[in-house]
Structure 1
């Protein structure tokens, strides 16, 4: 527990990141209200669905250690909630040999169990996939059930004393010498600190704080389009996979995994720009066609003609790195789409530390100008 005196904290946004922050803050004794504009389990943001990849394969030691911490916290959350929502499936990266070799070096330096295979060796082990270039397998990766994980975060936050207000739209934030007010159509909430974890709505919330807003990297929201393919056989033993372009395959980075809805496959970050208020939720036929072509060539274990497409939102920074930082009584957590869900409980822990002024955010995640190397492609 923190030695910081308890504070009142409003968390704006009830997706994975906001719910994790509410859990961690309430567990430290703070008085927490979580404000979510939609209802529980809604499909308007970036945290819904049946599957997210959990993996360790990053070129950066920072992300590997964040994943390690998140893995421990996910397991703790399962014990507290009394429900399993994580399945260990293993994961493979393949394609561009230089990109895959860099990931292998990072896992080796971090002491993460892994092995390097030829495409032929990998296809003997996972005949539902066709492999390209170099193959990296790390067995401790897996799959998170997104809806169940978010529900568990919210339930455990409530057990720790957090209040959750669904169907409450925050319209802005006002800072004064006496504290902070979160504005909404139903009135204002006065607190000591505010955490803005509003995903695609982040810029709208921070519009009333121009100095803080200007320090954000440009956040771009896109409507992405994964699809679920029917497996030719029950996909027992399928690993999650990331296909890095630059080997035989030269298209966009592709991710996939076996999910309750079928084998989920998606291109990373190719969707059109949208605003969260104006999106059509309709899959693009050309995008569906590209995924079917990919499945025809690279996924012999699925029927490329039996496909069900869906849409989701990404809200990303130009370099793919997160924003997790504090200015005065406002902590901002943004830009997670594409690869942030797996880290949620560890990010919640980091946010709780920032609120309590216990340390600083990693340089890579701070507000202000950025000169960092982008996260590698296919980062889902």
Structure 2
């Protein structure tokens, strides 16, 4: 088969890229190794945090683009994918100062509170003394969002194929040939957005063309949902998304948000064991789970810490936790989303489409360390 652009991966980044590419007029073939909506990678599940809470201008600007993209997707499909519940950061005042300054620079509203004030407003949570509230943050309905991205890509003409594994990638004149389970596919350009599988798929091409990804560490993380307790925090509508930036070095960075019908999801941000993404048994580590339960019992009093429903998911993390969004010849690579990429979906799709079609570079921090041919 011959098309303009092949996309590998149907998680949030691949789905968004396929949609942006086909909307830009490219004939797109999307190949996904697993079933639609599978749970083997990083994009599965019902909910993800949306927040503007970064301390760097380029990230905050990307969140603004993403928010507009999610809203456009809602208008286009008539579906709700973004619930503006607000987002909280609390803990290290230096971290909160930097986040507040970066949001203010982009004219994003925020509110600084003392911990006691925050506890009155959000009784399901316990806070350190410094709290920052962002009304523009909230919760993404993750599975619904990916479905909406894929459906709109297909409606615009993209060919979506699931259960099709890619075996190899090679040059084909000025373009590429992708050999997959269903045969050979030729295209002028290729976007690899396969999450934790991207280093294995892209590594050979990059090395043959004088480039290399940074070290991407694939780890298995295990957040859990905790059911709400009766009381003032039992109303699902009162729960914002939250991130704890601890002042105590013994306490890890932790995130959380309510998933409607499932409880409050709480997870340690990274730190899980290194795994092979294609060969993990998903056995829950009881020591790590008990540690999470102790944290939840102390800091999330509105839930029942004794009744966790654990989740297994993957992080693909770069040394500096920055994404890789770059192009080498006809191949564009998206990798290393480091546990915080989902919220950016539509913005990343737009960045990748512009990079693949027109060579428009992503911000400096997202580029490979070598000069990439345009």
In the superposition, the TM-score normalised over structure 1's length comes to 0.93
**How far apart, CA to CA, are the structure 1 residues paired with 2:228 and 2:44?**
22
**C-alpha distance after superposition, 1:156-192 (max 9, x if no partner):** 0011110001010012210132521111133211111
Q: Where does the alignment leave 5 or more consecutive residues of structure 1 unmatched?
A: 1-6, 371-380
Structure 2 contact 199–335 (Cα < 8 Å) conserved: no
**How far apart, CA to CA, are the structure 1 residues paired with 2:102 and 2:203?**
39
Query: 1:106 pairs with 102, 126, 129, which one?
Result: 102
Q: Which moved more, 1:344-353 or 1:99-108?
A: 99-108
Q: Where does the alignment leave 5 or more consecutive residues of structure 2 unmatched?
A: none
**How far apart, CA to CA, are the structure 2 residues paired with 1:236 and 1:78?**
20
Report the equivalent of 2:238: 237
- CA spacing shift, 1:97–1:157, aligned 2, 3 Å: same
Q: What pairs up with 1:1-380 in 2 under 5 angstroms?
A: 8-209=4-205, 210-212=207-209, 214-232=211-229, 233-247=234-248, 250-260=250-260, 261-368=262-369
**C-alpha distance after superposition, 1:109-132 (max 9, x if no partner):** 221110100000000100110001
Q: Which moved more, 1:195-204 or 1:11-20?
A: 195-204
Report the equivalent of 1:3: none
**How far apart, CA to CA, are the structure 2 residues paired with 1:119 and 1:19?**
39
Q: Any idea what SS the aligned residue of 2:163 has?
A: coil
Q: Any idea what SS the aligned residue of 2:227 has?
A: strand
**How far apart, CA to CA, are the structure 1 residues paired with 2:238 and 2:179?**
48
**C-alpha distance after superposition, 1:218-269 (max 9, x if no partner):** 111000000000111233211111000225x731100001112110000000
**How far apart, CA to CA, are the structure 2 residues paired with 1:69 and 1:178?**
32
**C-alpha distance after superposition, 1:36-84 (max 9, x if no partner):** 0111110011101011000101001101110101111101111112211
**How far apart, CA to CA, are the structure 1 residues paired with 2:349 and 2:56?**
20
**How far apart, CA to CA, are the structure 1 residues paired with 2:225 and 2:345?**
24
User: Deviation at 1:133?
Assistant: 2.9
Alignment root-mean-square deviation, CA: 1.5
Q: Which moved more, 1:30-39 or 1:73-82?
A: 73-82
**How far apart, CA to CA, are the structure 2 residues paired with 1:157 and 1:143?**
23
**How far apart, CA to CA, are the structure 2 residues paired with 1:93 and 1:293?**
20
- CA spacing shift, 1:212–1:275, aligned 2, 3 Å: farther
**C-alpha distance after superposition, 1:93-119 (max 9, x if no partner):** 001111111111111222111010000
- CA spacing shift, 1:178–1:214, aligned 2, 3 Å: closer
User: Deviation at 1:369?
Assistant: 6.3
**How far apart, CA to CA, are the structure 2 residues paired with 1:160 and 1:25?**
10
**How far apart, CA to CA, are the structure 2 residues paired with 1:214 and 1:287?**
37
**How far apart, CA to CA, are the structure 1 residues paired with 2:210 and 2:197?**
12
Number of residue equivalences: 363
**C-alpha distance after superposition, 1:294-351 (max 9, x if no partner):** 1111111011111111110011111000000111100001111311000011010011
User: Deviation at 1:34?
Assistant: 0.4
